[in-house]
Every structure is written in C-alpha cells, then in structure tokens.
Amino acid sequence: MAELKERTFIAIKPDGVQRGIIGEIIKRFEMKGFKLVGMKMLHASEDLLMKHYIDLKDRPFFPTLIKYMSSGPVVAMEHHPWQ
C-alpha cells in the first residue's frame, strides 16, 4: 500500500499577489523544508470561499473575510515536508 504523506495547503492572499511577493513567499516555505507539489492562481468565487471557510461562518468578520479573499487573485498551493 502506498505511504500516505502529510500535505499542507497554503494560500497567497490577494494583497500578496498584488504586491508581487509570490516568489518570496514560496522561497520562505521551501527554506523551512516544504516542497511545492502543486500551484494554481485563481480568482476564488464567493461560493468557493464560503465552503473553504465554513468553520468561520458564525464569526462577525466572516462577510469581510469573504469580500477580501474574493477581491483579487489568490495563489493556492500544496506543499509537503521534504523527506
């Protein structure tokens, strides 16, 4: 049976994309021992974000969070620790 590996989801939020620091953020994770295994830039829909942040739906900041995260492109990445 194939060995299961721990995977970590990392998102570069709209302000990081706008500031042009995607490469720097990836570099920092790699320096901490994470290996990038997948990456996609997308403009997340409010529907997708509401599903992703479902555990925060009752918090007072939820509408602001959804508005902010849908305000521009994000970079979604999957990393796993180097073996």
Domain with residue 71: its CATH number is: 3.30.70.141
Q: Are 9 and 72 in contact (CB under 8 A)?
A: no
Whether 2 maps to a domain, the answer reads: no
Whether 3 maps to a domain, the answer reads: no
Strand 34-42 to 8-12 pairing: unpaired
How many domains does the chain fold into? 1
> How far is residue 59's CA from residue 70's CA, in Å, rounded to a whole number?
18
- The overall pTM is greater than 0.85: no
Whether 38 maps to a domain, the answer reads: yes
Q: What is the pLDDT of residue 3?
A: 58
Q: What is the pLDDT of residue 1?
A: 42
Q: What is the pLDDT of residue 8?
A: 86
Residue range of the domain that includes 72: 8-81
Whether 30 maps to a domain, the answer reads: yes
β-bridge mates for residue 80, sequence order: 35
Q: Residue-wise pLDDT tens for the chain (83 aa)?
A: 455 577 889 999 999 999 999 999 999 988 988 889 999 999 999 999 999 999 999 999 999 999 999 999 999 999 887 65
Q: What is the pLDDT of residue 33?
A: 87
Whether 1 maps to a domain, the answer reads: no
> How far is residue 37's CA from residue 78's CA, in Å, rounded to a whole number?
6
Q: Which residues contact 33 (CB under 8 A, 6 or more apart)?
A: 81, 82
